[in-house]
Amino acid sequence: MKRLLVIVSLVFGLITNPLFAAPSLIPAPPQLSASSYILIDAYTGDILVEHNADQSVPPASLTKLMTAYIMEYELARGNLSFEDKVTVSEKAWRMKGSRMFIREGTQVSVENLMRGIIIQSGNDASVAAAEYVAGSESAFADLMNQHAQLLGMKNSHFVNSTGFPADNHFSSANDIAKLARATILQFPHNYPLYSEKYFTYNDIRQPNRNKLLWRDKTVDGLKTGHTEAAGYCLAASAVRNGTRLISVVMGAKSDEGRAVESQKLLDYGFRYYETRKLYSRGQVVNNAHVWGGSQSNVKVGFAEDVLVTMPRQQGTSIPATLDMHKEIVAPIAVGDVLGTIVVGTEGDVLLERPVVALEAVEEGGFFKRLFDNIKLFFTNLF
């Protein structure tokens, strides 16, 4: 095992002398003028900054991130298409607050409704979409809560598709960040909708309320919200030099305030942290011995890219330990977990990931299995 660890370390440059590792000095995060907020790495999910992030509060129109997410979910499964025509109900047409200005009895494409929800924050568009997907807004709310549970949104409960003030309708900064992350990672083809600055419908041109789209060219989403109870809210995302961050600010004092406070969070995160890829999907880290197989070794590596959030300027190499299962016996299927890699040092573990079989190994013949069983017996004996 010791020789195996040295080989892994030399090949991937993961062992470094701590005497030569420059410390990464990171100041305390900014204190924002908002009731709750969070900053996460979109690719790893690591939390960089948080304040009251699990506190349940009114989410206002950040609710529409879930409405849009469900639409994208249904689109991805072929249950909807952008070309579908949705007939506008009286309820949707009569919605107050921010609107797309759709008319009762007319038909609107799903694609236009998506833009109306995301860019114009249309309450009317959200209700029309909810009714089309689930038959009624209340049934759609039940669907929203099911998705929230699947996404691990533990401090959220939805009763409508818009975020219009209602009893028992709440979420949290952390939950909204999880939802934003799922939107970005699961449906990348639709994500450009969140960066569009204007949308015109019925000859009415409305701007995206996310001011950061104009101020910071690295920002490409996501959604604003405001009610008297919720204050001013903004879920934003930006990508710089391969690192994508998501900020959620809830309960800011003003429209300008939510933009300024969100910018503080994003700038802090990009200045002091980065996402680093340690291993690639399918990368081989070991050829492990197989007992009783049609071949004597199996290639071991990763099912997905291994990413880690790290302080900037930290050393270019990181300690890593590969711990393989003591006995690997055929048959082996692709994806079978055969060990674990631990990145970091004792007391400062950055991540642990399973290593898996990258190829299948069938059982060997009778005499091969018999011979290996005898060898394995004496190996364990001594």
Domain with CATH 3.40.710.10 in the chain: 36-273
State the amino acid at position 310 in one-letter form. M
Find residue 323's DSSP bridge partners: 340
* pLDDT tens digit sequence for 230-289: 999 999 999 999 999 999 999 999 999 999 999 999 999 999 999 998 899 999 999 998
User: 297-301 and 107-109: which strand pairing?
Assistant: unpaired
From 35, 89, 121, 161, active-site residue? 121
Superfamily of domain 36-273: DD-peptidase/beta-lactamase superfamily (3.40.710.10)
Concerning whether 96 is annotated as a catalytic residue, the answer is: no
CA torsion sign for 200, 203, 209, 215 is positive
Nearest to 180 by CA among 59, 14, 283: 59
| Burial classification of residue 148, based on how many CB atoms lie within 10 Å of its CB (0-12 exposed, 13-18 middle, 19 or more buried) | buried
**Is residue 15 scored above 80 in pLDDT?**
no
Domain with CATH 2.60.410.10 in the chain: 2-20+280-381
Instruction: Quote the pTM value.
Output: 0.87
Q: Would you call 129 helix, strand, or coil by DSSP? A: helix
* pLDDT tens digit sequence for 96-139: 999 999 999 999 999 999 999 999 999 999 999 999 999 999 99
Burial readout 105-139 (b: 16 or more C-beta within 10 A, e: otherwise): eeebebebbbbbbbbbbbbbbbbbbbbbbbeebee
* pLDDT tens digit sequence for 25-48: 889 999 999 999 999 999 999 999
Banded pLDDT at 376 (limits 50, 70, 90): low
* Number of other residues whose CB lies within 10 A of the CB of residue 308: 20
Is 96 part of any known ligand binding site?
A: no
Concerning whether 211 is annotated as a catalytic residue, the answer is: no
Class at the top of the CATH hierarchy for domain 2-20+280-381: mainly beta
* pLDDT tens digit sequence for 332-362: 999 999 999 998 877 778 888 999 999 999 9
The number of residues in the chain equals: 382
User: 243-252 and 36-41: which strand pairing?
Assistant: antiparallel
Distance between alpha carbon 75 and the CA centroid of its chain, in Å? 19
Find residue 310's DSSP bridge partners: 274
CA–CA separation, 166 vs 143, rounded Å?
17
Concerning whether 64 is annotated as a catalytic residue, the answer is: yes
From 35, 36, 61, 126, active-site residue? 61
Find residue 252's DSSP bridge partners: 232
Q: Would you call 350 helix, strand, or coil by DSSP? A: strand
Mean of pLDDT over the chain: 90
| Burial classification of residue 55, based on how many CB atoms lie within 10 Å of its CB (0-12 exposed, 13-18 middle, 19 or more buried) | middle
- Predicted pLDDT of residue 380: 67
Question: Which run of H or of E encompasses 51?
Answer: strand 47-51
Sequence-distant (≥ 6) Cβ neighbours of residue 196 within 8 angstroms = 115, 118, 119, 208
| Burial classification of residue 198, based on how many CB atoms lie within 10 Å of its CB (0-12 exposed, 13-18 middle, 19 or more buried) | exposed
